[in-house]
Every structure is written in structure tokens, then in C-alpha cells.
Amino acid sequence: MPEYGKGQVRSADGTTIGYRQRGCGPGLILMHGGMQASQHLMKLADALCTDFRVYVPDRRGRGLSGPYGDGFGMQQEIEDLQALVTATGASRVFGLSSGALVTLRTALVTPSLDRIALYEPPLSIDGSVPADWVRRFDHEIAAGKRSSALITALRGLGVEPVLGRIPRFVIVPLMTIGSRVQRDLPEDDVPIAELIPTQHFDMRIIREMADTVEEYATLRAHVLLLNGTKSPAYFGAALKRLATVLPHAQSITLPGLGHSGPENDGAPLVVAQALRDFFGAR
């Protein structure tokens, strides 16, 4: 991959938020999802950097950024993104999954954001986002069984349906081996073993944002709602509900894509084209 620059800002509570940056043009921030870091959106950044100055932060608790801190919740995520918006002057933000939740909530209280794009935010409506797996996940993390916890989370959320057809006693050892192989990562990349526990905190903000859809009726920003045809139905249901509430929204369904569509191993070029059209290339 091409080289990228790095920078950092200070959030309201003093926590460092580090980011990668690439390209030139209007500022565009890319917010990754759960059990991820900036590394997972770098192919998307590559596809957009000829038209935008792209900033890809490591959200709090991983990589180039500081720890979650006491009392972590959506307010800290909002303040982190606001600090980056203030420092970069970016008025466009894309968010994937829990990063889309952060983007949506931040736009509600940040008038300078005039365009946001949301890829499958897990906005729970009447309990639509599965959460009955979280207790088992937390127990497995506490016991040091991170590969098992990863399987529990992916199966629980339904974002990797193939895993539902493979016995746990087969897939867990394979995941464990894969995590060990990851030791020789590029300097700024975060090993998956370190990212797995972060899902606990993402579930915290998912619970906090549950049943808040009507609150976005006052959002002034223009919003692009994105989802794939291979994703769990609860993502599409949330987007349909948002489309009826948001004053300035348009929706695009991307054939053949799943929840990982924007990621390096998904279809980032397809997502990039939709974002380029919406955000307005130079």
C-alpha cells in the first residue's frame, strides 16, 4: 500500500486520538467498525485519496489512540470525532457499523458536518440487534479465550453466516493459529487478538443508542444510507426506519455485498464509488 502520514488530536478528556492520513482535496473522515482499527479501511482510503484528503482514525481503545478511560460511552466517541473534525476542518464523514452509529450521533450535535454516509449502523429498534451472546463473550474474554470470543461475537451478530455451519471445535483452533500468524504485522497495524475485546465497548454504545431513531428527525446533514444484500436483515430494517425519519436522506443497496463491504477484504472500490458520488469529488 502507498505510504500514509500520521497525526493525532486531543479529545475533550485529554485522550489522544491518532489517525492515518492520505491524499489531497476536501477532508473526509472514515470511521471503522467493531473489532477493527484504521488498517481495515485503508483500501477504501486508497480508492478515495485522489479526490479527498482522507483521515482514518483508530477509534479510542486501540492502535494509535489512547485508552477508553473510566465511564466510557457514546459521549466520549462523539468528543473524539469532534476533535478530529475541528483539527482537520473535514465536513464529510463515513462510518461503518458502530462507526456509523458514532458518525450519526456526532452529526446530530456538530453543525459543521454537512454530509455523512452510514454503512449498516447497528441501530437497535425494539431489540432488533442480537445481544444475548454478550454474556458468553465477556466470560470468554475474561478467561483468555479470545478466539472463542471472536466466534461468539461473529455468530451472535450474524455477520459471518458461514461460521454458523462450521462446528466450534473445528474453527476455534484455526482462529487461534491465525492470530499467532498475525504477529508480523506492519508497524501501525493492531493484531486481531488485541481488537477482539473492544467489542465489549462497542456493544455498550449499541445499547446506549438503542431506540433513539426518532431523535434524528432534526438532523440537518445530508445522509447516505448504505447496505448490502447479503447482510443480516436487522441492518436493513434500521436503515429503512432511518430513511423515514431523516429530513435529507438517500438510500443505496449494494448487490452482493455483506457487512464487510467497505473493508479491505470486502468490496471497497464499489463502496468508494458510491461515496465519491455522494460526497462530491473535485
pLDDT at 3: 84
pLDDT at 177: 47
Per-residue b or e along 212-234, where b marks 16 or more CB atoms closer than 10 Å to that residue's CB = bbeebeebebbbbbbbbeebbeb
Q: pLDDT tens per residue, the chain (282 residues)?
A: 458 999 999 999 999 999 999 999 999 999 999 999 999 999 999 999 999 999 999 999 999 999 999 999 999 999 999 999 999 999 999 999 999 999 999 999 999 999 999 999 999 999 999 999 999 999 999 999 988 899 899 999 998 755 555 555 445 555 554 555 455 678 899 998 899 999 999 999 999 999 999 999 999 999 999 999 999 999 999 999 999 999 999 999 999 999 999 999 999 999 999 999 999 965
d(CA 220, CA 159): 31
pLDDT at 218: 96
Neighbours of 37 (CB within 10 A): 27
pLDDT at 89: 97
Structure letter (DSSP) for residue 228: E
Structure letter (DSSP) for residue 189: P
Question: Three-state secondary structure along 116-132?
Answer: EEEECCCCCCCCCCCCC
Instruction: Output the CA–CA distances (angstroms, integers) from residue 158 to 87, 184, 211, 231, 269, in the order listed.
Output: 37, 29, 20, 8, 24
The pairing of strands 53-57 and 92-96 is: unpaired
Residue written as grid cell 488530536: 9
| Cell numbers for 115 | 454530509
